[in-house]
Structure 1
């Protein structure tokens, strides 16, 4: 089969969870993405919200079976030699839709071809084919080495540390925040003194979030406790007692995907506008949060649309960013948070 060679690799990726402006929730998922010619294959699919079958929260035996399937050591899960490349991040049900492709051997090479959007057992290439993607030809040794490395040592993907330690003075806010994080698949614990937490437990955290009332001496003690336990964690300085905003900050802190492989790479909020930078065509949602003089929260969705690669300026409603206010920008894979500066 005639097809130009492409490089094949794998990299950790995240489907960012969050508390949405409409009150809904979006589940956090960590997965391994396919890197083709140095770029995530998912980025060629515009605004698709999906994850690969190589998700970190599936049982090790199923993860290993998925890897062996991509190596063609097992029968295709779908008719006509088709494999799921990306599926629904919430339920992985084919009925929700999935990107599928034929995977086959040609000598020592592996070829991915006939990409399509599929919602039942058979793909309609004429109606739902991704005609601008593939066929992709991968060198066999490179392809096998990348996939085999996922299961050679641990029989599963590296386990991300999806637990957060919450430290603050407002117990009611911390309780709501912990509940929201658990709802989207992130563990959360509340404490006032990390020095009382055993080192073995500290090693399970990926981030620490401080409330605004926590002083520098207390923060330094927490950092020292983690250093003594030999744990590197991300530290989050909570911007305001607004649960969706804090969830977005924590999601950003937990993002372990390489910086060069993120869609959303820049956010500034000043002088009545938000500046956003994206690396590939994708859906971007921008939400403004503000606290009024009585510390009540006000939320406004200011933008929801497809942005092309590059830098963009989005006007902010003056009422939405009056006083102490913040902007959250999110794509399916990442989220950024910034205070509005005058």
Structure 2
């Protein structure tokens, strides 16, 4: 079967990190995704938790080598002319599983074909191939222009966060959690004293509930003077996993139209969710009781088809001061429960 022409593009994407309800951690990864015919190729591979080889946290020399490899300026890393398209977000080890494909030239064009799931260099395409995915034929000029643009770019946005609040112990726990999942974090109460060149290293600022409007305004002025655009996060509650989820959402630089999870609302004992492709969605509730103790409840964990969904919420889990976090492999949304 000959490959039909498809459009090729690139867009920033994220594998959302987080502090999980069971106490575990999921590493944050920023990467560049492949956009085929206007949609992320990753979304065509069902519910796959993976990142492309074009990840922001690899050394520049390796990143450049990955780009050159996709341009076929280097030998294929796997037998049969196969290249890794998506790999494990935790370790990138082939043994954990990877989506691979043959990449080859056809005159001036580039063709991606025979997509498969591999856990070893040897595999059976009949058993492990992705049926119905590809082959894709990309116009050479479009393909080369997109990938070469990565070599000229200044690099992805910063994954450092500035934490500002009155509760030092909470901020220290939050900073430790963020660093564990791969996000740098620093604590301060006075951004005026931070040099402009340091402010340029932050991608987000998170304010605690005890930070007043004057302090918030002073921080914003400091970043404006430094010529830095950052995302501002108003911490909803002194709950570390909840704050991490808020910060993850703030750091998401992917276009909204290219996200899997695009909407979360809570009302009348239900959560309204919208997803753009089949994916696993997890709903977790965090509740503060009258003694400011945190209670965590898993509300939902399952595959959802594209579209709008209404999920009933256990009233006991979301009474009082409660918050709901919706999570997919690449997106996180947070919503307060109406009181």
Partner of 1:295: 292
Aligned mates of 1:132, 1:240 — CA distance in 2: 46
Question: CA-to-partner distance for each residue in 1:99-144, whole Å, 9 max, x for gaps?
Answer: 0001111111111111011000023211111011011111111111
Q: Does structure 1 residue 311 correspond to structure 2 residue 311?
A: no
Secondary structure of the 1:34 match is: strand
| Displaced runs of 4 or more, over 2 A | none
SS of 2:216's equivalent?
helix
How many residue pairs are counted as aligned between the two chains? 339
* Residue 173 in structure 1 maps to residue 184 in structure 2: no
Question: What stretches of structure 1 of length at least 5 have no aligned partner?
Answer: none
CA–CA distance in structure 1, aligned partners of residues 298 and 278 of structure 2? 20
Query: What's the counterpart of residue 36 of structure 1?
Result: 36
CA shift for structure 1 position 159: 3.2
**Counterpart in 1 of 2:67?**
67
Residue 319 of structure 2, aligned match among 314, 318, 322? 322
- Structure 1 counterpart of 2:239, from 219, 239, 242: 242
Q: Does 1:273 align with 2:253?
A: no
Q: Residue 196 of structure 1: CA displacement? A: 1.1
8 Å Cα contact 1:5-1:138 kept in structure 2: yes
Distance 1:123 1:22 in 2: 35
Contact 1:16–1:26 (CA<8 Å) still a contact in 2? yes
Mapped pair 1:100 → 2:100 = yes
State the shift of 1:166 in Å: 0.5
* Residue 48 (structure 2) aligns with: 48
Is contact 1:56–1:160 with CA below 8 Å preserved after alignment? no
Name the counterpart of 1:137: 137
Does the residue aligned with 1:223 lie in a helix, a strand or coil? helix
Distance in 2 (CA, whole Å) between partners of 1:161 and 1:115 is 33
Distance in 2 separating the partners of 1:67 and 1:208 = 32
Structure 2 unaligned residues grouped into runs of 5+: none
For the pair 1:283 / 2:280, whether they are aligned, the reply is: yes
How many angstroms does 1:160 deviate by? 2.1
Match of 1:77 in 2: 77
Distance 1:187 1:10 in 2: 26
Q: CA deviation at 1:16?
A: 0.7
Does the Cα contact within 8 Å between 1:46 and 1:283 map onto a contact in 2?
no
Deviations 1:189-216 (A, max 9, x none): 0111111111111111110000001111
Secondary structure of the structure 2 residue equivalent to 1:44? helix
Are 1:197 and 2:194 counterparts?
yes
Partner of 1:257: 254
SS at match of 1:338: strand
SS at match of 2:202: coil
Mean CA deviation greater in 63-72 or 236-245? 63-72
Secondary structure in structure 2 of the residue aligned to 1:80: coil
Could you give the per-residue CA deviations for residues 209-263 of structure 1, whole angstroms, max 9, x where no partner exists?
0000111111111111111111111000000000000000000000001111111
Q: CA RMSD in A?
A: 0.9
